[in-house]
Amino acid sequence: MVDATTGISARYGKLLNSPRVRVIAAAVASAVTWFCWAYWANREVPEQALLSGLFQGGVNLLTTAFGSALLETFFVRFGDSVKGRVGAVALVSTGSLGLMLLAHWAAATPNVLLTVMPVYAVVVLYCTSYIIGLHKIKRRYETTEVAVP
């Protein structure tokens, strides 16, 4: 007999192992979370808070989607070595930081460091955990089918 959790696991297991689903879910969650953060961080200047939130949410949507896809690609291309995993995290997180700083410069965000640095810390943690997750998937299934087609 199959219990409810096994049925749910079987149904959603394929979705969770899909690179596209991982990328889309992460991008949407990131956009919503960091929109709220940027809005709060700049709330003292109400006319700027919404714009900063939209810029941060938009940048995070794009960088998370693009960065997650890059992490998937770099994982396959650089290999599953420590050097390859660290390189993938460094490249993607540094690119994300650059885009965030550029977007907030364009938006004239008043509290750039308060807005960006917590996000960047989470970006590094996210990239690291994403690569560790890919490593676990690869070890579990011993396949290279973790890249976005």
pLDDT tens per residue across span 65-86:
888 889 989 998 998 889 999 9
pLDDT, position 99: 87
Chain mean pLDDT for the chain: 84
pLDDT, position 13: 61
pTM of the shown model: 0.71
Find the radius of gyration of the CA atoms of the chain: 17
* In a domain? residue 146: no
Domains held by the chain: number: 1
* In a domain? residue 149: no
Q: ∠124-80-66 over CA atoms, to 5°?
A: 45
Parts of the chain with a pLDDT under 70: 1-17, 142-149
3-state helix, strand, coil in the chain (%, to 5): 85, 0, 15
* In a domain? residue 75: yes
Q: Answer yes or no: are the C-beta atoms of 58 and 87 closer than 8 Å.
A: no
pLDDT, position 1: 44
Q: What is the span of the domain harbouring residue 18?
A: 4-141
* In a domain? residue 77: yes
pLDDT, position 23: 82
